[in-house]
Amino acid sequence: MRWVVEVIAGAMACLIVLLLIVLGIAFASGCTRTVLVSEASPLRTGPGVSGKVYTKTSDGEWKLSDNKVTIPEGWYCVPPSFVEERP
């Protein structure tokens, strides 16, 4: 009967170790939150926003920047439907 207790104790120890490993991986992966903004709504940048941007060239084409650009806090970003394309 003593061996049953030892087997159960070993199984519980394995479950606790497994739980700690799973929780460690979950916490190490980080938490992210994604908020989808509808196209009908412009947005305003917060602190520390940077990334590649498109600029319009003299021939009217859009070109992606080679480097990341820091966008100042408070600038507005609007979807393409807000911008009137001129020929």
Q: Is the pLDDT of residue 63 over 90?
A: yes
Q: What are the domain boundaries of the chain?
A: 1-32, 36-87
| pLDDT grade for 87, boundaries at 50, 70 and 90 | low
Alpha carbon distance 68, 52 (integer Å): 4
What is the reported pLDDT for 20? 86
70 has which bridge partners?
50
- pLDDT reading at 10 higher than 90: no
Q: Fill in the amino acid letter for 63.
A: K
For the record, the structure tokens of 76 come out as: 């507005």
Q: Per-residue pLDDT averaged across 47-55, rounded?
A: 91
Residue 60 region, left (φ>0) first, then alpha (ψ -120 to 50), else beta? left
Report which DSSP code applies to 81: G
Using an 8 Å Cβ cutoff, are 45 and 72 in contact? yes
- For the whole prediction, is pTM greater than 0.85? no
